[in-house]
Chains A and B, each alone.
Chain A
Amino acid sequence: MDIPKLSRTERLILELLSGEEMFGLQLVEQSKGALKRGTVYVTLGRMQDKGYVESWTEKQSAGAIGLPRRLYRPTAYGLRVLAAWESVARALTRSPKLRHA
């Protein structure tokens, strides 16, 4: 069975979101330069299409001005894909050592 594809950026986003739900800009700040604000929303949208993350708009208080912000969190499927990729990555980093041993 094929493991669903997960780019480096998507993996980073899932890792950041696995701790808590965040806004797009928060993800950019937390990534310490790895994510750009111009591309993060496009990537998040694509990840929504793939079913890795889900989003909803925050509830605004009465009298609030401006557009409501969008919050993101990983889906159970997204976390499973991340876990699968992490185990593959772990296996790949271990294998040379095993060969040497």
Chain B
Amino acid sequence: MMPGTTLHRLAAQICSAKTLERVVEPAIADLQKEYADAGLRSRLERARILLFGYAGVWEGMAMTALDMSSRADTDRRALLRAFIWGTAVTVCASAMLIALTIAAAPVFAPFYIALLTPMTLPIALPIGLTLGIACGLSRGPVSRLTKRAVLFSAVLVTVVSFSSMAWVKPVANQAFRQSVFNAIGGKGTVVKGLHEMSILELRRAVNMAPRGDVDQTPQRAIWIYQLTFALPLAPLVLAMLALALVAHGARRATVMAMCVAYFGVLMAAEALVYEGLSPVAAAWIPNVLFAGALVYFASSGPPNVQSSLSPA
């Protein structure tokens, strides 16, 4: 498959026809040509072409979103407000989760903050994004351009969240545990827990788990494995629902309550796993419920709600 094919398909969903024709397609076409010309060059060179090529396409898409927003001062101010609120809430939520973990650890070193940050992102990012929308965009009507910019941010946050959960968090968590173990005088290697396993290791743990085992560990492995895919979708589901609620005239507090409710449902679902609920169902319950609410608001709301859900 030619590089950029999937990105082209994704861009077709989230970008306008003009952006697709003028920014995305020329950038991808140049990337494909450059990559094809580099056929006989080293792997490193081809990887460099892909890295810079993809970064260029994403940067172009982000630039277009910002450029469009700059056409209207009101849009720009609303987006800036949402961005500032979103960033501030994400940092606060992340700091709180880190502080709670560090408080429970017997020792402290400043670099623990860096090691614990990836663990907090899948929770802090959707909270920040949703509250950013609630505080930044609830003051007036939300334009189509602002909705597109928010949707683009939500997709980006989902990608970051998934990358963090699938690859960065397991490594960082294990490094944190090992470091604490060594600091209190422990010797040897700390055995990985389920949260420290990569996707492949988790998959293996899930496949090896005996069916119908009364021991909770296999169930937990399935729960964490499913959560790796389900939780990163939270920013997308919550952002779309927050946009729909804002367009519906909902107050800030309602949007905030919706965000709290999502994590409340997630915690309840986790508790139900121990009562015998399928961990696969439990992990996806919040997304399904809130996607259902989204469909409800889209179909029953005023016309501007429906337009808020159309991607481009």
Decide: A45 and B2 in contact? CB cutoff 8 A: no
Q: How far is the CB of A2 from chain B (nearest CB, A)?
A: 20
Min C-beta distance of A31 to chain B, whole Å: 14
Does A75 make an interface contact (CB < 8 A)?
no
Distance in angstroms between the alpha carbons of A36 and B57 in the assembled complex: 11
Known: A37-B53, A44-B22, A45-B22. A67 touches B28 (CB 8 A): yes
Contact among A25, A41, A48, A68 with B60 in the assembled complex (CB-CB below 8 Å) = A41
Please, which residues of chain B bring their CB within 8 A of the CB of A85?
none
What 1/0 flags go to B104-120 for Cβ under 8 Å of A?
A: 00000000000000000
What sequence of 0s and 1s flags, for each residue 75-113 of chain B, a beta carbon within 8 Å of any chain A beta carbon?
Answer: 000000000000000000000000000000000000000
Q: When chains A and B are docked, how far (Å) is the Cα of A25 from the Cα of B4?
A: 15
CB under 8 Å from chain A, chain B span 18-34: 18-19, 22-23, 25-30, 32-34
B272 at the interface (CB under 8 A from A): no
Q: What are the residues of chain B within 8 A of A44 when measuring CB–CB?
A: 22, 26
Query: At the interface, yes or no: B56 with Cβ under 8 Å from chain A?
Result: yes
Inter-chain CA distance A42–B247, complex, in Å, is 30
**Does B296 touch A at the CB level, under 8 Å?**
no
Given contacts A44-B22, A45-B23, A67-B25, contact A38 B55 (CB under 8 A): yes
Interface string of A11-49 (1 = CB under 8 A from B): 000000000000111000000000011110110111010
Please give, as numbers and ranges, the residues of chain A lying within 8 Å of B33 by CB-CB distance. 23, 25, 66, 69
Contacts of A41 in B (CB 8 A): 22-23, 26-27, 60
Q: Does B63 contact A (CB under 8 A)?
A: yes
| Residue total for A at the interface (Cβ-Cβ under 8 A) | 20
Tell me if A66 and B32 are in contact (CB < 8 A).
yes
| Residue A70 is within 8 A (CB to CB) of chain B in the complex | yes
Selected from B2, B19, B26, B59, the residue in CB contact (under 8 A) with A24 is B26
Q: Which chain B residues lie closer than 8 Å to A36 at the CB level?
A: 56, 59
Q: B36 near A: Cβ within 8 Å?
A: yes
Chain B residues packing against A (C-beta within 8 Å): 2, 4, 8, 18-19, 22-23, 25-30, 32-34, 36, 52-53, 55-60, 63-64, 67
Q: 27 A-B pairs, CB-CB below 8 angstroms?
A: A23-B33, A25-B33, A25-B34, A37-B30, A37-B52, A37-B53, A38-B58, A38-B59, A38-B63, A39-B59, A39-B63, A41-B23, A41-B60, A42-B60, A42-B67, A44-B22, A45-B19, A45-B64, A46-B67, A48-B22, A66-B2, A66-B29, A66-B36, A67-B4, A67-B25, A67-B29, A70-B26
* Chain A to chain B: the 10 pairs with minimum beta-carbon distance, closest first: A38-B59, A37-B56, A66-B32, A45-B22, A25-B30, A67-B29, A70-B26, A69-B29, A38-B56, A42-B63
